[in-house]
Chain A
Amino acid sequence: MRTRRLTPRTVAIAIAAAVTLLVSASSAQAGHWWLDSYGQPVHLGGLGHTPTLGVENNATNPNVRLAIYRAMLAWQTPGYLGIIEMPTGSGTHVRAADGYWGSTGWVGLASPYYYNGANVLPGIDGNGHTHHFDVSMNMTYLGMSHLNNQQYYDAVACHELGHSVAALDDQTGTDPSCMAVGYGQRDYAWETDARFRNPSPHDRDHVAYLWATLH
């Protein structure tokens, strides 16, 4: 695990983020971490604090491209996390694409990849770190008549980018957020409630905590 030098600013950010997170937790909202088998958040590693993450928007469907772009904007958290678009093939942190993957079950998927020497392997290292994420948007489902609309594209793109840039998850559906989409509780709330197409304030607390304290 990397050792970082603590500066007064880092300490202040960590304390502020931790306090914010605990306040959120005490308000009975659900915890939202995507944890590995060691209980550590699955996240991009080695980026330090207040990073700027790159996203390749390789989707060919213009509506999916728009959804990914909106998700990039939605997850930017000033002071903690910047997100910029990078050219196709740049090999950056998140590589988003669409495809007709068929009846896989998932409509959106964030897959972590890990470097072992020159080999790129699916997975993470022992510290929860991944080198990059592939975000896959499955047009087989996105093309279904009841799901083929911009609101749903936005919700799914927001959800998958949330896994990728903020180590987030919410399988309870208790926090009105794009992270609650598709887990069987409030599956169609995104149609009428914009909160289910965007990160919630609670999600932003997690972003702040993650990037202020973990690396």
Chain B
Amino acid sequence: MRVLRVSSLKAAAATASIAAAAAALTVGTSDRTAEGDAAPPAAVVQPPQLVRPKLHASFARSRNLEELNGLSTVVVVARVTAVADGPRWISDDPRASGEPTALPTRDVTLAVESRLRGRIGAEPVWSFVLPPGGLEVEGNETPRVGERYLLFLREHPRMAGRWIVPLIDGRVSVGAGGRSTFALANGVGQRLAREFNDGGVAGLREDVR
């Protein structure tokens, strides 16, 4: 049970402190080797350690498949072939007046394996938005090359040639290697993944009209 880990917090902190001390000692030793007469380890000032935790957010969810269909214009099964830094973020929401915070983006290039609904090129770019500072959100991490998804997409209204996933439930991991924890925890995602696993693309066609 996770809560029991709390009782070992002090031990974890001690472990981290020991690791930091070991790292400091390593740096000091290395310096001595390189320079011959560097200061002893006790004089080494370590910069504060920066940890970039995964963020825990709340996610807007679709109530049912019809809602997900209504928010998307294209549905595909696709594999991620490349991930690169994207352009300056522009909100896809036309109500945005200015941009409240500069968010990093990633251009996720897809190879479309099956097109279930709508028109889209063979290698579309999914514009994936990260939180401020570029930290990852647990359950909605940046896609990785090789992962395979069933995606409900809509064209970005203000960034020509790029596509967005309107709700997290529109990103369903299928096959090996994909990740979308919370989408699969949702009834809609579970159903879609199960139908894909049972009948492949044919099993989904009735659902995504």
Contacts and interface: CB of A to CB of B under 8 A. Distances in A.
Interface residues of B, number: 62
Contacts of B92: 102-103, 140
A192 interface: no
Interface in A159-215: 159-160, 163, 169, 171, 181-185, 187-188, 209, 214
A68 interface: no
B93 A184 contact: no
Interface in B163-179: 164-168, 171
Contacts, number: 212
Given A25-B4, A100-B93, A183 B20 contact: no
Given A111-B131, A182-B57, A184-B189, A125 B100 contact: no
A71 interface: no
Contacts of A124: 50-53
A30 interface: yes
Contact of B20 (A126, A128, A181): A126
Contacts of A31: 1-6
B1 to A, nearest CB: 6
Contact of A184 (B3, B12, B183): B183
26 contacts: A1-B13, A25-B1, A30-B2, A30-B3, A31-B4, A36-B51, A40-B9, A105-B129, A106-B57, A106-B131, A106-B137, A109-B58, A109-B137, A112-B55, A116-B50, A121-B50, A122-B131, A124-B50, A125-B50, A140-B93, A144-B60, A159-B58, A169-B56, A184-B61, A184-B183, A184-B189
Interface in B110-142: 129, 131-135, 137-140
